[in-house]
Amino acid sequence: MKILIIGTGYVGATTAMVFAETGWQVTGLDIDAGKIERLKQGRLHFHEPGLEALIAKHVQSGRLQFTTDKEIAIKEHDVIFLCVGTPSLPDGSADLRYIRQAAEDIGRSMKGYKLVVTKSTVPVGTQEKIKKWIESAQQAAYPFEVASNPEFLREGKAVKDALNPDRIVIGTDSQRATEQLKKLYWPFVCPWIVTTPRTAELIKYASNSFLATKISYMNELARLCDELEVDVTEIAEGMGLDPRIGSSFLQAGLGYGGSCFPKDVSELVMTSRKHHVHLGILEGVMEVNRTQYAYLLDKARSRLTSFADKTVTILGLAFKPDTDDIREAPALRIIDQLLLEQANVRLYDPIAALPPHGSYRAVKVCTSAEEALRGAEAIILCTEWPEFERLDWKKAKKLLGQPNFFDGRNMMNAKRMRRIGYYYQGIGKA
């Protein structure tokens, strides 16, 4: 079986690597010629630890190829994975235009049997639409099958997650598709869930929304912890030891960002509304997340009285460490608000860059944390990059205008920061 991956973003590039690593012949297809040129040279267009080296290894071995020629690529491959983006539309539902485009391309170019597998996160019922889109574009009634195989990898840990999946979910009505996918994933030893297409699609949304719920629950609880003078990280530790709760995703902070949780929770809520079901818990999850960045900003504002003409240093821009992805990053919302309130904003992130919008020209982008800290009257830590924890904060104090530290990720040791002279506020760390 020769595998074609349509879309070479995080999911597509990682999936291509996984199948090349397990011995298959893989081709990555993308409409973006620039991305494909880089990939052909074994270079990635985004930051993902360990992925570039594995891509380069398989480009060199010849097991991994890249192309922009969709017609030939579709004709020459039997198994096609859809890994294109499904961004949010303004109303919060998922935009399926890239999925539709890929499905129609497949229909138009196929000249024999294809297995089409969706890895992109798509709303419940999309598999049925994909079938129709392929059929409507076909020149002749060539046979094909469709399956859902949602991806559960995290950015920043994509290689580890993809090579060590905790489960493989397959949603299809076809026995043949199931057998083919089992063959493709031959080396993986983990639980398999073979189910209906709709179930597979919903498992993905339900998983991401549940993780987002854990985060918003802790963020809301953290607000109460501040009032009660209780440390939310100790609460999380005490809760997490109960195996029914588990210790992961209990870290209070500025809220969840990235290309997945915000759009997936929102899409699930939109789906529920279309079916006249009220998912009140998820509506609450979104509301906590929407206001969480402002919760920390309020603390900083009341300490400084006003942000106008104050120098505020933002440490970290990426939505989480080990990625240069800034989609839905809480740091962006904080910067927007600070600029609106006429603060002098200084920013340092080890790898992430601001979008090229004119409004961000007012931000002083620095090349080191030390440079960013010069003259700061408030520091707002937005991403828990390890280098921030390692910084000599005693020495750094000399660079500052005022030692006010607002820790949006509860990263620092609060007691130590206070002992060495910082006015330190975290989230639920009163």
Compute the half-sphere exposure of residue 210: CA atoms within 13 Å on the CB side of its CA: 9
Shortest CB 259 distance to ligand UGA, Å: 6
Residue 250 or 339: the one with the smaller Cβ distance to ligand UGA is 250
CB atoms within 10 A of CB 247: 13
User: Does residue 188 bind ligand UGA (CB under 6 A)?
Assistant: no
User: Does residue 31 bind ligand UGA (CB under 6 A)?
Assistant: no
Query: Which class for 405: exposed (0-12), middle (13-18), buried (19 or more C-beta within 10 A)?
Result: buried
Residue 105 or 325: the one with the smaller Cβ distance to ligand UGA is 325
User: Does residue 393 bind ligand UGA (CB under 6 A)?
Assistant: no
CA 341 remoteness from chain centre: 29
Lookup: tokens for 297: 């900003």
Q: What are phi and psi of 378, to 5 degrees?
A: -155, 140
User: Does residue 406 bind ligand UGA (CB under 6 A)?
Assistant: no
The answer to whether the beta carbons of residues 344 and 310 sit under 8 Å apart is yes
User: Does residue 205 bind ligand UGA (CB under 6 A)?
Assistant: no
Scanning 73-81, 207-215, 269-277, 395-403 for contacts with ligand UGA by CB under 6 A, the matching segment is 207-215
Lookup: tokens for 405: 């530290």
**Beta-strand (E) ranges in 281-407?**
311-315, 344-348, 364-365, 378-381, 404-407
User: Does residue 405 bind ligand UGA (CB under 6 A)?
Assistant: no
User: Does residue 258 bind ligand UGA (CB under 6 A)?
Assistant: yes
Residue 192 or 249: the one with the smaller Cβ distance to ligand UGA is 249
Scanning 24-32, 253-261, 332-340, 386-394 for contacts with ligand UGA by CB under 6 A, the matching segment is 253-261
Number of residues near ligand UGA (by CB under 6 A): 20
Residue 134 or 212: the one with the smaller Cβ distance to ligand UGA is 212
Catalytic option among 83, 260, 366, 382: 260
Site for ligand UGA in 43-72 (CB under 6 A): none
DSSP line for 405-421: EEETT--S-HHHHHHTT
Shortest CA distance to 177 belongs to which of 191, 193, 194? 194
Tell me the per-residue interface mask from 213 to 232 with ligand UGA, x by CB under 6 A, - otherwise.
--x-----------------
- Of positions 295, 319, 393, 422, contacts ligand UGA by CB under 6 A: 319
Q: What are phi and psi of 282, to 5 degrees?
A: -70, -30
Shortest CB 95 distance to ligand UGA, Å: 15
Shortest CB 112 distance to ligand UGA, Å: 32
DSSP line for 39-81: HHTT--SS--TTHHHHHHHHHHHTSEEEES-HHHHHHH-SEEE
Report helix, strand or coil for 387.
helix
Tell me the per-residue interface mask from 108 to 147 with ligand UGA, x by CB under 6 A, - otherwise.
-------------x--------------------------
Lookup: tokens for 336: 């927007």
Tell me the per-residue interface mask from 333 to 372 with ligand UGA, x by CB under 6 A, - otherwise.
----------------------------------------
- C-alpha distances (whole Å) from 296 to each of 21, 314, 343 are 44, 13, 16
Shortest CB 249 distance to ligand UGA, Å: 4
H helix or E strand, kind and range, residue 237: helix 232-240
CB atoms within 10 A of CB 183: 11
Residue 73 or 124: the one with the smaller Cβ distance to ligand UGA is 124
Residues 358, 291: Cα–Cα separation, whole Å? 25
Site for ligand UGA in 278-317 (CB under 6 A): none
Scanning 12-20, 109-117, 208-216, 333-341 for contacts with ligand UGA by CB under 6 A, the matching segment is 208-216
Rg, the chain, Cα only? 23
Shortest CB 126 distance to ligand UGA, Å: 15
User: Does residue 151 bind ligand UGA (CB under 6 A)?
Assistant: yes
Residues 173, 152: Cα–Cα separation, whole Å? 22
The answer to whether the beta carbons of residues 293 and 333 sit under 8 Å apart is yes
Shortest CB 427 distance to ligand UGA, Å: 10
Scanning 54-62, 129-137, 258-266, 349-357 for contacts with ligand UGA by CB under 6 A, the matching segment is 258-266
Residue 142 or 249: the one with the smaller Cβ distance to ligand UGA is 249
Residues 190, 149: Cα–Cα separation, whole Å? 14
Active site residue 260: yes
Q: For tokens 């570039």, what's the residue?
A: 52
CB atoms within 10 A of CB 346: 21
List interacting residues with ligand UGA (CB under 6 A): 121, 151-155, 208, 211, 215, 249-251, 253, 256-258, 260-261, 319-320
Active site residues: 260
